[in-house]
Amino acid sequence: MTRPRVLFCGLEFSDGFNHTKSFVKERGLDVDVVRCPRERVLDEIRDADVAVPLMTTLDGDALSRGASGRLRLVLQFGVGLEGVDVDAASRHGVRVARIPSEKTGNATSTAEMAVYLLLAALRRHDDMRASVERRALGAPTGTALEDCEVLILGWGAIGVKIAERLRGFGCSMTAARRSEWRDDESDRCGASLRAMCSTSDAGTFATLLGAADAVCVACTQDASNKGMIDAAFLGAMKPGAVLVNVARGGLFNRDDILDALESGRLGYLASDVAWSEPVDPNDAVVKHPRSYFTPHVGGVCHGSYKTMGRIVATWSSRLSEIESSVDIQLVN
């Protein structure tokens, strides 16, 4: 049998690659773990049994090329599959899987990042740095979380863990998600929600947006909500409220975000993701005095990466058992 080959599609998120290779070496697994730049993926994917997309788009062309060679599985190093054409993978007989965030520490790490960004937004991160440079004491005047209502958009593992961590700050919390709510779900994290709704209930959702001093975006992205954070969304927010995004940059309408920052409608943007990654550091949104970007590191910590590296390495060495997997979620 040919030695399984795992291809990390891109040179970003390098510790994911490193932890996977380390686990293979420690356990003596019969697996090759390699990586290549994004622009080389179309050439390299034919020789891979497993492709780890990272932030590289695997469209019909890439999957067709892979399937014409050895490709049997696309396994994301995390949860995001918005860049993978799952229908095309199915047509070519390539299975697609992701690693649920609640099983790896990824959700905990991302929730902590959301709190970090929320505090950075409310305390005006860049203004504080500017005050240090000017040797100005006592400025800017920030906002305490205790005085805020926070709307958590998305109520999966990450959204719940954000609420758990915000509970100690004494802020009021609301939540919204696409699906309907059961009566017993509002206290899933032990934190009382003032209100909750489905985003399909446009009137109630707009009311919650208009009442929130801060909105934390922690939902998944797919074709149905791409560009969701647009002029209408921002216009429904409380004037001067802050926006935090630890989900996906494709949820942004970039031009509408810039307009809202310029007009002051959006008080502050703190985001771990962008519409194009890596984001251009000279982009007007990134350089805006009321924005703060981090380099997609929400789920990047040694604990979560070790766990995800173990899963990628282990299941790549056991491809014949993929269909009975319990450690990863198969989506086709």
Range 56-72 average pLDDT? 95
- Higher pLDDT pick, 30 / 104: 30
Q: Is a pLDDT exceeding 50 seen at residue 214?
A: yes
Contacts of 97 (CB under 8 A, 6+ apart): 73, 74, 75, 76, 315, 322, 325, 328, 329, 330, 331
Going by pLDDT thresholds of 50, 70 and 90, the confidence category of residue 322 is low
Distance of alpha carbon 87 from alpha carbon 234, whole angstroms:
33
pLDDT digits (tens, 9 = 90+) for 227-240: 999 999 999 999 99
Helix, strand or coil, per DSSP, at residue 255: helix
Q: For residue 330, name the pLDDT band (cuts at 50, 70, 90).
A: very low
What is the share, in percent, of the chain residues with pLDDT greater than 70?
93
**pLDDT band, very low/low/confident/very high, at 77 (cuts 50, 70, 90):** confident
Strand order in the sheet with 214-217: 195-198, 172-177, 149-153, 214-217, 241-245, 266-271, 291-293
Confidence of residue 102 (pLDDT cuts 50, 70, 90): confident
* More reliable by pLDDT, 211 or 101: 211
The DSSP secondary structure of 42-57, one letter per residue, reads HHHGGG-SEEE-TTS-
| Structure confidence by residue, pLDDT tens digits, 174-198 | 999 998 887 656 556 677 899 999 9
Confidence of residue 53 (pLDDT cuts 50, 70, 90): very high
Phi, psi at 276, each rounded to 5°? -140, 125
CA distance 222 to 274: 15
Whole-angstrom distance, CA of residue 114 vs CA of residue 288:
20
Residue 325 pLDDT > 90: no
Q: Map out the domains of the chain with their CATH numbers.
A: 5-102+301-330 (3.40.50.720), 106-293 (3.40.50.720)
| C-alpha distance across the termini of the chain, in Å | 25
If we measure between CA atoms, which residue out of 94, 92, 145, 139 comes closest to residue 116? 145
Q: What pLDDT score was predicted for residue 327?
A: 47
How far apart are alpha carbons 286 and 274 in whole angstroms? Answer: 9
Q: What are the φ and ψ backbone dihedral angles of 115, each rounded to 5 degrees? A: -65, -40
Residue type, position 138, single letter: G
Distance CA 10, CA 26 (A): 24
| Minimum mean pLDDT range among 156-170, 266-280, 315-329 | 315-329
pLDDT at 185: 60
In tens, the pLDDT along 278-297 reads 999 999 999 999 999 999 99
Residue 172 reports pLDDT greater than 90: yes
Question: What is the dihedral sign for C-alpha 318, 320, 325, 331?
Answer: positive
104: confidence class by pLDDT, cuts 50, 70, 90: confident
DSSP codes joined into one string, 88-153: HHHHTT-EEEE--GGGTTHHHHHHHHHHHHHHHHHTTHHHHHHHHHHT--S-S----GGG-EEEEE
pLDDT of residue 79: 73
Q: For position 216, what pLDDT does the model report?
A: 98
Q: Confidence band (pLDDT; 50, 70, 90) for 331?
A: very low
Which stretches does DSSP call E strand in 223-289? 241-245, 266-271
Mean pLDDT of 47-71: 94
